[in-house]
A and B are shown apart, each in its own frame.
Chain A
């Protein structure tokens, strides 16, 4: 735990990553300078900003989910949020391809909310028993994924677009998408940060929190709602980038400990860094062919998650 160092170092790292995101791409710097097209401002800057925004959204969503479920292995991927948003967005893309992109975000939010509502209904109101939440979430996710697969198979001509989106990629995203995502996060992120003090109370346990005057159920529901909304807007713009919501809070906890007023901002930065680095690698590794950023986050995140799993002693 190095809170002070972290608060200096992380923004600096993020800045460095952002700068290299502007410098690196499928074309080398000399070619970019030589061409009169505004590649840096038109294409690269918008993608760097989007990666930061989406990564922060996913990371925060993960931290909030873990706070609500009180299980360090929970994440929006595990409780059906990503799968719900994914199903809604795939439905929209395959069945109404002519709709404007702006509809994707509300649809993804509705899909994610519905998934969470179904999950809460299945878990049983009142008690949010953590391990039951995760188990029901996983089962629900796999069902939603099966439906998504069905949509894919029955629309073979549009499989490619949906596959790109389902793996999570920032390909073809630009300023339009920044302006769509930014207002949502401008509202949601401050709300999440405001909630952090109440979350610290929740971490003490239900009874202690009640004793200190917190309305446990309401705080928890609000945090869950925020988590769903943030994951859904990020997923709607960048696709289902996996493991960021899981790994970012963990790394942040290693760096600054579990107090949410420190944890949440650091999680946001770590999440942003993860997605940004993955996106830069995705653009440059096989250029001009682009890899989905989601596979890179999975390649980083899954082994880390499995490592956590073997270390976790709270069974």
Chain B
């Protein structure tokens, strides 16, 4: 599993590099001014984040037909776009009809339709699902180059790093944090490679991690939560609007719950899983930092 992930990452890097060469190289090959892509279709939220950061509004987004999942900060900068359906199964007809000149797709999800996408427009394959924070920033740079806006992107990334450093100085770092997503039947803790953990690490915070686990998402029981015993638990629930999962409510009534540090310190917080897990990009990372600053983790001075 671990080796496969590493290998996948490497392969995706190589593919991305080659594609970039192809995209950029083709543009260089044409005599005259280089025309950067104008009509971009993105098939993951993290690519949307990067493309918007580079100052481009995509014409097509695979938004699962749930526009509410796009972060407000990103939505504000979006022009009119068309939904191309599910991230897992984007609609090729709609993509083709948008006449894009660049498609950004996920290495894992969209490998099966890579040739079909390539027939429509030059396609960039990058890793989004399960990708680490640092890798996502590197990929944002790749996207910036592909868009012909390397300078803007670099400036954005530098500004992002500055903001993150600033956030880091304003946050206490003596306690252990944990982010988890709950569903009707259980809790999945986000492990070291997960996006949110990378962001927390960047902010200089400690993460209470499942011992010895290198997987991005780890399913745990109350017992294992007790073993990790974090000071803070941030919980995302995608179904919060429909009443949410009752697993936390049940756990809170459990005799073991009072033993947990987070319960004694009353440091259990509901956060928006869209920014903590789904957005996976610059805006998502900064939203996480903002959420943290709103808690008592913020230094009082």
Contact = CB atoms under 8 A, between A and B. Distances in A.
Interface of A: 25-27, 31-32, 35-37, 39, 42-44, 95, 97-98, 101, 154-158, 160-161, 164, 169, 171-172, 174, 176, 283, 287-290
A29 to B, nearest CB: 12
Contacts of A283: 93
A290 B96 contact: no
Interface string B59-93: 00000010000000000000000011110111111
B94 A158 contact: no
Given A36-B99, A164-B89, A289-B85, A42 B119 contact: yes
A289 B94 CA distance: 10
Contacts of A288: 65, 83-85, 90-91, 93-94
B108 A158 contact: yes
A290 B89 CA distance: 7
Interface residues of B, number: 32
A44 B92 CA distance: 10
Nearest to B15: A98
13 contacts: A26-B85, A26-B93, A39-B93, A39-B96, A43-B92, A43-B116, A174-B115, A287-B85, A287-B94, A288-B65, A288-B83, A289-B85, A290-B91
Nearest to B97: A35
B109 interface: yes
A101 to B, nearest CB: 7
A98 B119 CA distance: 20
B88 A172 contact: no
Given A157-B108, A172-B116, A39 B97 contact: yes
B112 interface: yes
A192 to B, nearest CB: 29
Contact of B109 (A25, A26, A43, A161): A161
Given A98-B11, A290-B91, A37 B97 contact: yes
A179 B90 CA distance: 23
B238 interface: no
Given A171-B89, A174-B116, A289-B65, A27 B94 contact: yes
Contact of B112 (A26, A32, A37, A161): A161
Interface in B87-122: 88-94, 96-97, 99, 108-109, 111-113, 115-116, 119-120
A229 B97 CA distance: 37
A113 B26 CA distance: 47
A287 B129 CA distance: 24
A21 B209 CA distance: 52
A300 B97 CA distance: 32
Contacts of A172: 89, 92, 112-113, 116
A35 B217 CA distance: 42
A154 B115 CA distance: 28
Contact of A289 (B4, B86, B217): B86
Contact of B217 (A98, A156, A158, A290): A156
